[in-house]
Structure 1
């Protein structure tokens, strides 16, 4: 199996060989994305994510009054959303 450095070199070589035109733009974009992902993994190897288990947390106390405004187009469900979230009726 190839190492990360070898994969990066292979992708760079393929990008150098590929002509740049409309027909190859998508392919070059995919190669650039793969190259960026490999470089990112090379700099900071991916960590295995837990599940939010034993991490340190924080608690925010509720205090004071607040105002919230819902902005949107007519008839998209702003009042319905407010009714479902608060369990009350709004006009």
Structure 2
């Protein structure tokens, strides 16, 4: 998995969106907006990662990078994260 949307898809394989929203105490609109934007917020990504047994630090960093505009610095950080993960 390399994007927060993939993390969301993995989460939705284990529980329905409504169950996630109830467990995380968020509205269903949060998931709808994430799907529309194509990314999770760092806060949401980290909390989903915790519940899935994934590294929340990694997923919060991925989410933060996804929120940034395209730039060489963003690409450098993304490449670094991918090397660390593999």
TM-score by length of 1: 0.27
Whose RCO is larger (CA < 8 A, sep 6+)?
Answer: 2
TM-score by length of 2: 0.28
**Could you say which structure has the higher helix fraction?**
2
